[in-house]
Homo-oligomer: A and B are copies of this chain.
Amino acid sequence: MVGEGEKRSVFGDQTGSVELLWGGRERPSRGPRPALSLERITRTAIALADAGGLGAVSMQRVAGELDFTKMSLYRYVPGKNELVALMIDSAMGEPPQLPEGWRNGLRAWAGALTTVYHRHPWLLGAATGPRVMGPNELGWTETAVAALADTGLSGGEQLDAVVVVSGHVRALAQVSASMGLGSARATEPEQVMSAALNELLVGRADRYPAVAAALASTEADAAARDRANEFGLERILDGLEAYMGGSR
């Protein structure tokens, strides 16, 4: 199960996440010293996810990796949803330093985000459904919005622009992960997958002529595939720039 069980009370569940992600968490004065730490647990869980996807992260396995029992983890984390929330925020890491200028800034921001998704592909599947943003995630948003602060965009437009760029990075990372276009991980399996898509199409070019034609023209143009990652982002930035009036 991944997270959207029907027992989630829409907010009661999130309370734990909010406290864990944002709360002070001072150690109580009485009682034995904790032998574990939130950070160690989170790190271990991330390592498991990096190696085998989100499905490889279970309380048992995380605990086993740390030589503890499963239930001991629940002294640190109220439940698995909260652990995943911690994993997400920790895997995001600190937002990058951006260069001057909103356009260069957003470009660098998108690149850094792409790197994160490549390093932790499970993030693509984890960050789904209603969630509470953690400090790092909000920090990423902050740096991106800050890059747009002096562009004349309204506050809402700034937020929308960030949603557009991050959505694009995410979409591209998804395609990259499932079809192996331009991904450093594009080893055999993904290429087989892309081949399978082609295989689906060859007998059906009549039903999907536009896609077939587009794919065919892509195959011949290896250089274009290298630019694929940039194309969409540059169009988005163009659109934003035009909207600002092109002056900045």
Residues of B with C-beta under 8 A to A124:
128-129
A127 to chain B, nearest CB (A): 8
From A27-35, A106-114, A236-244, give the one contacting chain B. A236-244
From A37-45, A64-72, A141-149, give the one contacting chain B. A141-149
**Which A171-226 residues have C-beta < 8 A from chain B?**
171-172, 174-175, 177-178, 189-190, 192-193, 196-197, 200, 207-211, 213-218, 221, 224-225
A150 to chain B, nearest CB (A): 10
Residues of B with C-beta under 8 A to A239:
234-240, 242
Residues of B with C-beta under 8 A to A100:
none
| Residue A138 CB within 8 A of the other chain | yes
Are A2 and B240 in contact (CB-based, < 8 A)? Answer: no
Residues of B with C-beta under 8 A to A139:
208
Given contacts A55-B6, A242-B242, whether A167 and B171 have CB atoms under 8 Å apart is: yes
Partner of A171, one of B53, B164, B208, B216: B164
A241 to chain B, nearest CB (A): 8
Are B159 and A215 in contact (CB-based, < 8 A)? Answer: yes
Residues of B with C-beta under 8 A to A168:
164, 167-168, 171
Number of interface residues of A (CB under 8 A): 87
Q: Which residue of B lies closest to A142 (CB)?
A: B208
Are A193 and B11 in contact (CB-based, < 8 A)? Answer: yes
| Residue A94 CB within 8 A of the other chain | no
Partner of A228, one of B156, B214, B228, B232: B156
Q: Which residues in A have some Cβ–Cβ distance to B below 8 Å?
A: 1-6, 10-11, 14, 18, 22, 52-56, 122, 124-125, 128-133, 138-139, 141-143, 145-146, 148-149, 154-161, 163-164, 166-168, 170-172, 174-175, 177-178, 189-190, 192-193, 196-197, 200, 207-211, 213-218, 221, 224-225, 228, 231-232, 234-240, 242-243
- A selection of 19 A-B contacts at a CB cut-off of 8 Å is A1-B55, A4-B52, A4-B55, A4-B56, A5-B52, A11-B193, A18-B200, A129-B178, A131-B178, A142-B209, A154-B217, A154-B224, A155-B216, A161-B231, A163-B232, A167-B174, A235-B236, A238-B238, A238-B242
